Amino acid sequence: MVEKRREPKPRGGAAREIRTGRFIRDWLEKVGEDSITGIHGALKSQIGLRNLVRPKVKWLKAPTYESFLKYFGHLRRLGLVEFVREEPTEYVAHDKLISIRMAGPWSDARPLPPMQVVPSTRRVYHLTALGKSPQMDFLWDDPLARAPFRKALLGK
């Protein structure tokens, strides 16, 4: 019996249609500055809009927040985006959510804290002059593979 070999699934989900790096650049050119969470949310919304006109079996998958955060970190290290400021945000604990770290069936479990507002910050980024430069377009597509080229071209 001859076994059929399955072709491996292409990696990258939506990367063939919506390039993550180019989306980040276009988004920051459009809005000026935004947080990583805001940019990731906009990317997921864009992918969701494209999925509206597709059958479910051909839906595009958005990158996870963790992988998006890593990708954004590479762009930051390459000098394509830079930190601008921190904005205060508030997180209000929800009375129905329970942390498994705080309460449990064991004897030394800590009691749940009272409901309170937890102050937090959101980091805001914008494009650098290098990120806006058309000569650096190749870095937006694949920041990991292109880093040696950037070092050779710019000496950084």
pLDDT tens, position by position, 39-66: 999 999 998 888 888 888 888 888 888 9
User: Which three-class secondary structure string do you get for 57-119?
Assistant: HHCCCCCCHHHHHHHHHHHHHCCCEEEEEEEEEEEECCCCCCCCCCCCCCCCCCCCCCCCEEE
- CA 27, 20, 66, 62 dihedral sign is positive
Q: Domains in the chain, please, with CATH? A: 17-84+123-154 (1.10.10)
Neighbours of 31 (CB within 10 A): 12
- Average pLDDT (109-121) is 60
Q: State yes or no: pLDDT of 93 exceeds 70.
A: no
E strand map for 23-146: 33-35, 81-92, 117-127
More confident residue, 23 or 114: 23
Structure tokens at 84: 């601008």
| pTM for this prediction | 0.68
